[in-house]
């Protein structure tokens, strides 16, 4: 993919957009490798799934801590460190001799990936003019969507020809190239390199990491209902301890006043709601395509790419619309488009089959990009520059919590609507009914986000 001309003339913007790309690749690339990993290590699916879970938990647990580190030590320094960790961990994944070694390497890859997905949002205002911020945010959204779309296809191609290691090797080499460019680009101090005074609240960091880890684990606990409830109870206790610690700490990791600000708190809640919807299309869609419409695995992969590709194409235009008409005006428009798209996804596949499914995705996914560009722009304008690192970390945190919640809660909702039935023997009409009910119910989430947007004003 070619960068827009503005990015081609701005190496710092290339670094930030490329960081968002490889961070997204880290999530999506491994999904297609799971069957190959199960065969290579003779491991059950339940064990192989931790290749995905480890990355997601690492990103979710570390993203706010890393944002605070960026505020203290300088964003460019932490970005370069994140690229270094991500690239080396990716190469370690490719060389892993065992499944446990691969999972351990994925944890470090996720920590690096958290930097790559969080800091570009806060650094973007330091590398582009203020009136171009919306377009730049749209470019970041495009790169995230390209990474999501490219991961399965790149992984499938490399795994088929060279084995499961090749995908991780390719991402690692791409990370090294970005690292070299970042070092060359940020060799001289820039506005983004300014550091803030303060220290790290390590006890608070530990409590937050444990709380987010237990939350993520509870959302991926599968059939262990008692285990999930126990983990959620532990999460509540850890969150209470974290809030207590932040009120007592001299240099809190997350200023309670920042999260308690009505505009910021509602922005984070809206981000979580919308990203939950985004993930639901990825985890529930394959069931409808396979069991409801009778598609094979290769065809499902092609159809599932429609959404991310549409997002990639609409990301920059969404940012330009945000610049032209204002983020506050475009945000509810994006939410309304998501609602219309969800209704279309619930109905059109039953009326038009595969064509209806594709049309619904084309209608739905630009709404995500409009919302993300507008919400990120509005949110980052509410704080001073020395707090943008932690705020971008909170945005990334809410996004990843939405991904975890969507991957678990939405698939659970679909299973509940489907009822007790063997998936392989499920009647296509029953699957279609469950799919329709699930996405009609899901429209409640962007409606809640619309209400939150009204309350924020």
Each residue of 268-293: pLDDT tens digit? 999 999 999 988 887 778 778 877 88
Range with top average pLDDT, 149-158, 186-195, 252-261: 252-261
pTM for this predicted structure: 0.71
Q: How many structural domains comprise the chain? A: 3
DSSP string, 131-189: GGHHHHHHHHHHHHHHHHHHHHHHHHHHHHHH-THHHHHHHHHHHHHHHHHHHHHTSS-
Range with top average pLDDT, 132-146, 192-206, 240-254, 395-409: 240-254
CA distances to 126, 136, 283, 389 from 5, in Å? 18, 12, 35, 27
117 and 207 within one domain: no
* Radius of gyration for the alpha carbons in the chain, expressed in angstroms and rounded: 21
Contact, 37 vs 48, CB < 8 A?
Answer: yes
Contact, 391 vs 264, CB < 8 A?
Answer: yes
Each residue of 42-53: pLDDT tens digit? 877 567 778 877
Backbone angles phi, psi at 10, to 5 degrees: -130, 90
Q: Give the range among 157-166, 214-223, 281-290, 352-361 with minimum mean pLDDT.
A: 214-223
On average, the pLDDT of the chain sits at 81
236 and 155 within one domain: no
- In the chain, what percentage of residues exceed pLDDT 70? 85
Last residue of a domain, one of 197, 212, 231: 197
CATH number at residue 51: 1.20.1250.20
Of residues 345 and 303, which shows the higher confidence score? 345
Q: Which among 268, 320, 309 is positioned nearest to 138, based on CA atoms? A: 320
301 and 228 within one domain: no
Kindly compute the dihedral angle of the four CA atoms of residues 70, 379, 213, 276, in this order, to the nearest 10 degrees.
-140
133 and 86 within one domain: yes
Q: Work out the average pLDDT over 411-420.
A: 78
120 lies in which domain range?
1-197
pLDDT over 80 (residue 423): no
Sign of the dihedral through C-alpha 2, 186, 141, 285: positive
Q: Residue 446 and residue 457: Cα distance in Å, rounded?
A: 17
Each residue of 396-415: pLDDT tens digit? 778 878 887 877 677 778 87
CA distances to 261, 262, 382, 399, 453 from 457, in Å? 12, 9, 12, 22, 7
Contact, 449 vs 333, CB < 8 A?
Answer: no
pLDDT over 80 (residue 9): no
Q: Which among 181, 408, 370, 186 is positioned nearest to 274, based on CA atoms? A: 370
Q: Residue 397 and residue 380: Cα distance in Å, rounded?
A: 15
Last residue of a domain, one of 153, 170, 197: 197
295 and 387 within one domain: yes
271 and 399 within one domain: yes
455 and 362 within one domain: yes
13 and 103 within one domain: yes
207 and 149 within one domain: no
Last residue of a domain, one of 197, 218, 244: 197
378 and 285 within one domain: yes
218 and 162 within one domain: no
pLDDT over 80 (residue 188): no
Contact, 26 vs 356, CB < 8 A?
Answer: no
305 and 216 within one domain: no
């Amino acid at each position: 993919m070619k960068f827009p001309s503005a990015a081609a003339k701005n190496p710092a913007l290339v670094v930030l957009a490329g960081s968002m790309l490889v961070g997204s690749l880290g999530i999506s690339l491994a999904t297609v490798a799971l069957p190959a990993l199960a065969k290579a290590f003779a491991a059950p699916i339940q064990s192989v799934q931790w290749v995905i879970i480890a990355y997601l938990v690492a990103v979710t647990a570390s993203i706010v801590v890393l944002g605070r580190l960026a505020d203290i030590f300088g964003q460019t320094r932490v970005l370069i460190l994140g690229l270094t960790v991500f690239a080396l961990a990716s190469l370690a994944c490719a060389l892993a001799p065992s499944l446990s070694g691969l999972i351990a390497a994925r944890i470090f890859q996720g920590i690096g990936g958290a930097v790559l997905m969080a800091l570009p949002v806060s650094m973007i205002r330091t590398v582009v003019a203020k009136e171009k911020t919306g377009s730049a945010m749209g470019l970041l959204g495009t790169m995230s969507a390209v990474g999501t779309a490219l991961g399965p296809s790149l992984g499938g191609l490399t795994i088929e020809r060279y084995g499961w290691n090749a995908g991780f090797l390719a991402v690692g080499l791409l990370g090294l190239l970005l690292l070299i460019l970042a070092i060359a680009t940020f060799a001289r101090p820039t506005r983004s390199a300014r550091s803030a005074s303060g220290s790290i609240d390590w006890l608070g960091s530990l409590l937050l990491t444990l709380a987010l880890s237990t939350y993520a684990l509870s959302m991926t606990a599968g059939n262990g209902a008692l285990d999930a409830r126990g983990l959620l109870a532990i999460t509540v206790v850890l969150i209470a301890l974290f809030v207590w610690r932040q009120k007592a700490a001299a240099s809190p990791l997350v200023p309670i006043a920042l999260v308690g600000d009505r505009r910021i708190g509602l922005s984070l809640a809206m981000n979580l709601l919308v990203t939950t919807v985004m993930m639901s299309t990825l985890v529930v869609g394959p069931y409808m395509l396979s069991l409801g419409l009778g598609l094979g695995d290769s065809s499902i992969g092609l159809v599932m790419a429609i959404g991310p590709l549409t997002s990639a194409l609409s990301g920059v235009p969404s940012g330009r619309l945000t610049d032209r008409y204002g983020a506050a005006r475009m945000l509810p428009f994006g939410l309304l488009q998501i609602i219309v798209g969800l209704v279309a996804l619930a109905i059109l596949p039953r009326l038009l089959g595969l064509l209806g499914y594709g049309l619904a995705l084309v209608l739905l996914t630009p709404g995500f990009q409009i919302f993300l560009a507008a919400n990120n722009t509005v949110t980052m304008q509410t704080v001073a520059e020395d707090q943008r690192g932690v705020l971008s970390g909170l945005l990334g945190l809410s996004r990843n919590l939405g991904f975890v919640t969507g991957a678990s809660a939405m698939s659970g909702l679909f299973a509940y609507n489907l009822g007790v039935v063997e998936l392989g023997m499920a009647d296509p009409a029953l699957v279609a009914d469950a799919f329709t009910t699930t996405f009609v119910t899901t429209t409640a989430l962007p409606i809640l986000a619309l209400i939150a947007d009204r309350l924020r004003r």
